[in-house]
A and B are shown apart, each in its own frame.
Chain A
Amino acid sequence: GAGVSQTPSNKVTEKGKYVELRCDPISGHTALYWYRQSLGQGPEFLIYFQGTGAADDSGLPNDRFFAVRPEGSVSTLKIQRTERGDSAVYLCASSSGGAGGNEQFFGPGTRLTVL
């Protein structure tokens, strides 16, 4: 079946602009996660949704970052007033539940470059 998909695969923007990154999770998965990965580092947690609500947004670095999942399926990560330090690969993952034993399925990521 279809895996997690993310669009766009690459996004180049200028400092100060607004960007939206989209994630389509595996159908039926109630849990959705956003991570970001800088070069040479492991992925860093940003936010976790269970259904439509953000159950844990402790990883969002500041109020320029916001994410929504209005119908409990597709999610959008929104970044306002982008800065060069926001350049990274943004990864989305989904899982069938929130319990500690459930594996997360990752998408291929969106590479964001802020010039």
Chain B
Amino acid sequence: DAKTTQPNSMESNEEEPVHLPCNHSTISGTDYIHWYRQLPSQGPEYVIHGLTSNVNNRMASLAIAEDRKSSTLILHRATLRDAAVYYCILRMYGGATNKLIFGTGTLLAVQP
């Protein structure tokens, strides 16, 4: 399974944009890029996913590099509730299994 690399931690101020980077240089053509986040004492929560094009939803935006070797999760206005561990995960389409392989993620701290 292809691996992802993320910074261990990042800090942001409330109401400012946050850009969370992820490197995945060994991504294959059939890998989707998924982002999940985990708030303290909760199960992970889906944020967004994409394949090639940039994606937007109510929670965030996902910017995917043209060569797909990296991506960035963008939170447009961070709130205190966005403080969580953010996981960037590659997930193969159409494989026999659809497991998520989590790394250690990026711990995002949001300052008031």
Contact = CB atoms under 8 A, between A and B. Distances in A.
Given A43-B44, A91-B44, A56 B103 contact: no
A100 B93 contact: yes
Contact of A104 (B46, B96, B101, B103): B46
Interface residues of B, number: 28
Contact of B95 (A4, A45, A100): A100
Secondary structure class of chain A's binding surface, majority of residues: loop
Nearest to B43: A106
A43 B34 CA distance: 15
Task: From B30, B92, B94, B97, name the one whose CB has the most chain A CB atoms within 10 angstroms.
Answer: B97
Contacts of B44: 43, 91, 93, 104, 106
Nearest to B87: A42
Interface of A: 4, 31, 33, 35, 40-45, 48, 55-56, 58-59, 91, 93, 95, 98-109
26 contacts: A33-B100, A35-B100, A35-B102, A41-B104, A42-B85, A42-B105, A43-B102, A55-B96, A56-B96, A56-B97, A91-B43, A91-B44, A93-B43, A93-B44, A99-B93, A100-B30, A100-B31, A100-B32, A100-B91, A100-B93, A100-B94, A100-B98, A101-B49, A103-B49, A104-B44, A104-B46
The 4 A-B residue pairs with the shortest CB-CB distance, nearest first, are A42-B102, A106-B43, A100-B93, A56-B97
Given A42-B87, A101-B51, A106-B43, 20 more contacts: A33-B98, A35-B100, A40-B104, A41-B104, A42-B103, A42-B104, A43-B100, A56-B97, A91-B44, A93-B43, A100-B31, A100-B95, A100-B98, A101-B32, A101-B49, A103-B34, A103-B46, A104-B44, A104-B46, A106-B44
